[in-house]
Amino acid sequence: MNDYEVSKEITARIENEGTFHAPHGNQIERYEAIRQYITEVKNFVTRNTPPSREQSSALTALDSATFWANASIARNEKEV
């Protein structure tokens, strides 16, 4: 097994990703707005595509988009 040197930036990123980030400011409202918007998109997709593996994949991708958008807010905004 190799032991690669890990940069301070990567170490900090890993620590940040593994830390609980309590919401602050208007973050909760924005998390909810993202979820509501993605729910509308999911409903549009299910009304306009036949039930299928592809439809399921599209819905899963939208779940991922919700997670990553909210993670972007949680992990990258500092409380002021």
pLDDT at residue 4, as a whole number:
94
Question: Considering Cα of 71, then 73, then 78, then 80, what sign does the dihedral take?
Answer: negative
For residue 16, is it within any domain? Answer: no
- Domain assignment present for residue 47? The answer is yes
Q: In total, how many domains does the chain have?
A: 1
Q: How do residues 18-58 score in pLDDT, each as one tens digit?
A: 999 999 999 999 999 999 999 999 999 999 999 999 999 99
Q: Which of 77, 78, 73 is nearest to 30 (CA)?
A: 73
**Domain range for residue 63?**
22-76
pLDDT for 2 beyond 90: no
Cα of first residue to Cα of last residue in the chain, in angstroms, is: 43
DSSP letter assigned to residue 22? -
Separation of alpha carbons 57 and 76, rounded Å: 28
- Is position 66 within any domain? yes
Q: Is residue 50 part of a domain?
A: yes
Q: For residue 28, tell me if it sits in a domain.
A: yes
As given in the structure block, the two tokens for residue 22 are 């309590």
Residue 36 lies in a domain: yes
pLDDT at 80 over 80: no
